[in-house]
A = this chain, B = another copy of it.
Amino acid sequence: MNDLETAVRTVRFLSVDAVEQANSGHPGTPMALAGIGVELFTRVLRYAPERPDWPNRDRFVLSCGHASMLLYSLLHLAGYDVSLDDLKQFRQWGSKTPGHPEVGHTPGVETTTGPLGQGVGNAVGMALAGKLAAARLDGEGAPLIDYRVFVLCSDGDLMEGVASEAASLAGLWGLDNLIAIYDDNRITIDGSTELSFAEDVGKRFEAYGWSVQHVDGHDLDAVHAAIERTRGVVGRPSLIVARTHIGIGAPTKQDTAAAHGAPLGAAEVQGAKQAAGWPTEPTFFVPPEAKAPFARRVADNRAELAAWDARVSALTPERRAALDAVTTRSVPADLFATLRAALPGADATRSIASKLQQVAAARVPSLVGGSADLAESCKTTIAGSPHVARGAFAGRNLHFGIREHGMGAICNGLALSGFLPFASTFLIFSDYMRPSIRLAALMEQQVVYVFTHDSVLLGEDGPTHQPVEQIASLRLIPNLDVFRPADALECAAAWAHALLRRGGPTALVLTRQKVPELRREPDFDAERVLRGAYVLEDAADASVTLVATGSEVHVAVEAAAQLRASGQRVRVVSAPCLDAFERRPEAERRAVLGSAPVAALELGRTRGWEALVGDRGLVLGLDRFGASAPQSALAESFGFTPSAVAERVLSWLRGT
């Protein structure tokens, strides 16, 4: 048994033992993919365990995240800061080895996977980031960024639509730095893949424009040769269909769904170890020679890292700045002031935000992104920069096509690779990409979502296109900030907030229709907008406070004028970002809301606002689906004209 083969068995049985010890997990796939994993980490990947953030490292994505013990075992053997004790703590509270890989939690883990298909999309985003970076750093000598991205994926990954969307885009862009290895084990949880997956996967990927090979996934030399061949593939991503046997070596569970999602059990483990000539005791056994092939690879890679560091140290300041631009996501701290100096006049907030985005883009070189075929409607194209296309990666604009979910997963990959991505579509279609948004929030990645056409007031397109529950439901995702600006100043705050917020994604929620510019006192402190809610119009000893967001703020202002004519003393609060507001000290929040009865206005579900308005409060919203009609008819019918709002508030005040 050579040391590679020893390493393969070590990975298999570390995985099996950890799942047994946790009494929870997925042993079959780590067993099946141990060979491919060892091949990658000992003869293919460029990495440095002591520098997991080396910008030019190859990326390894385990899209089938349930096989997490494969990754943890490999990281341990490769010398990452993942100890044998960490492996023994698999799936325990606070351990470095959670049930599915979590980026930021374990060194060497590139992205959080588990929800199937997402890792494929992330890998496409990482490969795209590599191409974008290379195009920006093009110059004399060896490239500073030329990493490759390897993604291991399962049947489930390739059944998910998000992976289809991302794979089609990878083919479109010709990402030849992307190599997907498909674990073709012919087993799903429900049984044989024949039950649900009869398609010709290779042919499908050829149709996307990929280069496709087929190999025996347990023949390491064949896998090695297939990966080597991908170096000769130019202008196309590669798919290697690797036939494997789930739970390989397990006496009765190999090639069955029983090997997938539960511990094998003592008898099966013993049988597998004996058949492999492996000691049944101790568990978590790591023979010294198992680490040797990893050590050889790391030594080679370390020399590459040293050379890379030396070249970076010798860069001219201009080249160094170009490198930083694609690795550090730097944003000037005074960005809000810059944006405030460029405020456009009254318009739809999508149009205002678009103009401000141009200003921001000039100061934030890592800002790249695009739209799911709604660039004209969402107005998110960065002016003066070309669109990215096959062989042309210098631009900053991406055409994602009508693929919101793929867009979301790809943006996560871009963010994980040093860019600051934006993604735009209609707010209603945020539903299509919700799992990717959630992962951005969970991974604490800075992604900016530009969601336009933000209420029924988009008009004639009707209920299929009119958001009702989307604002509220995005607010429910932990660590996602939702920013719904009302005018130009608030749009500037929205972009500043999104670009300066390092630890998570922000959704900008913008109107299709024009809204008036709000009037503020000359000495208004613009920083107050960033606090999420602020007093826009005040009244001594207010009798009522109107709180509104986005396009409902000017309605509140106009309604307030009518209410004043009826003798009310009205405070108007604009609340563009409830998430930011909730993070403010309670005293500040109370001061903003005041002590008068509070009525909230937002053209969406009322649920969620009750906490803010309290028992005495009123929430004017929309708790039904919309309808197809012109904007004015909808505002009338749903009671959202200023006079209807004033009337509803008055009658409520009379009732309280």
Which A residues are closer than 8 A to B by beta carbons? 22, 24-25, 65-66, 91-95, 98-100, 102, 112-117, 155-157, 159-165, 168-169, 171-172, 188-190, 195-204, 206-209, 257, 261, 371, 373-377, 387, 389-390, 399-403, 405-406, 428-429, 431-432, 434-435, 438-439, 441-442, 459-465, 468-469, 472-473, 475-479, 605, 607-608, 610-611, 614-615, 623-625, 627-630, 633-634, 637
What is the CA–CA distance of A141 and B61 in the complex, to the nearest angstrom? Answer: 57
* 23 residue pairs A–B, Cβ–Cβ below 8 Å: A92-B629, A93-B633, A94-B629, A98-B463, A98-B628, A99-B461, A100-B462, A115-B428, A160-B432, A161-B403, A188-B401, A189-B374, A190-B375, A196-B400, A197-B401, A198-B390, A199-B208, A199-B209, A261-B377, A431-B434, A469-B477, A469-B478, A478-B625
What is the CA–CA distance of A323 and B208 in the complex, to the nearest angstrom? Answer: 43
What is the CA–CA distance of A599 and B633 in the complex, to the nearest angstrom? Answer: 42
What is the CA–CA distance of A202 and B629 in the complex, to the nearest angstrom? Answer: 38
What is the CA–CA distance of A524 and B470 in the complex, to the nearest angstrom? Answer: 39
What is the CA–CA distance of A362 and B435 in the complex, to the nearest angstrom? Answer: 36
A171 touches B198 (CB 8 A): yes
A373 touches B156 (CB 8 A): yes
Contacts of A376 in B (CB 8 A): 189-190, 257
A165 touches B171 (CB 8 A): no
A207 touches B196 (CB 8 A): no
Nearest-neighbour CB distance to chain B for A595, whole angstroms, equals 13
What is the CA–CA distance of A24 and B610 in the complex, to the nearest angstrom? Answer: 36
B442 touches A435 (CB 8 A): no
Nearest-neighbour CB distance to chain B for A104, whole angstroms, equals 12
Taking A115-B429, A201-B207, A203-B207 as given, write out 17 further A-B residue pairs in contact, using a Cβ cutoff of 8 Å, ordered by the A residue number: A65-B464, A91-B460, A93-B627, A100-B628, A160-B161, A172-B199, A195-B399, A199-B208, A200-B206, A203-B206, A204-B204, A204-B207, A434-B434, A439-B464, A468-B478, A478-B624, A614-B615
Nearest-neighbour CB distance to chain B for A602, whole angstroms, equals 13
B442 touches A387 (CB 8 A): no
What is the CA–CA distance of A459 and B389 in the complex, to the nearest angstrom? Answer: 44
Contacts of A95 in B (CB 8 A): 628
Among the listed B196, B201, B203, B465, which residue makes an inter-chain contact with A100, where contact means beta carbons less than 8 Å apart? B465
**Residue in chain B with minimal CB distance to A95:** B628
**Residue in chain B with minimal CB distance to A624:** B478
**Residue in chain B with minimal CB distance to A631:** B24
Contacts of A171 in B (CB 8 A): 198-199
Q: With A465-B99, A473-B473, A628-B98 in contact, do A165 and B161 touch (Cβ < 8 Å)?
A: yes
Contacts of A116 in B (CB 8 A): 402
B476 touches A463 (CB 8 A): no
Contacts of A434 in B (CB 8 A): 431, 434
A462 touches B114 (CB 8 A): yes
Q: With A208-B204, A607-B476, A610-B611 in contact, do A93 and B172 touch (Cβ < 8 Å)?
A: no
B460 touches A99 (CB 8 A): yes
Among the listed B114, B375, B463, B605, which residue makes an inter-chain contact with A442, where contact means beta carbons less than 8 Å apart? B463
Contacts of A441 in B (CB 8 A): 625
Nearest-neighbour CB distance to chain B for A605, whole angstroms, equals 5
Contacts of A165 in B (CB 8 A): 159-161, 164
Nearest-neighbour CB distance to chain B for A425, whole angstroms, equals 11
What is the CA–CA distance of A611 and B611 in the complex, to the nearest angstrom? Answer: 7
**Residue in chain B with minimal CB distance to A97:** B628
Q: With A190-B371, A611-B607 in contact, do A93 and B161 touch (Cβ < 8 Å)?
A: no
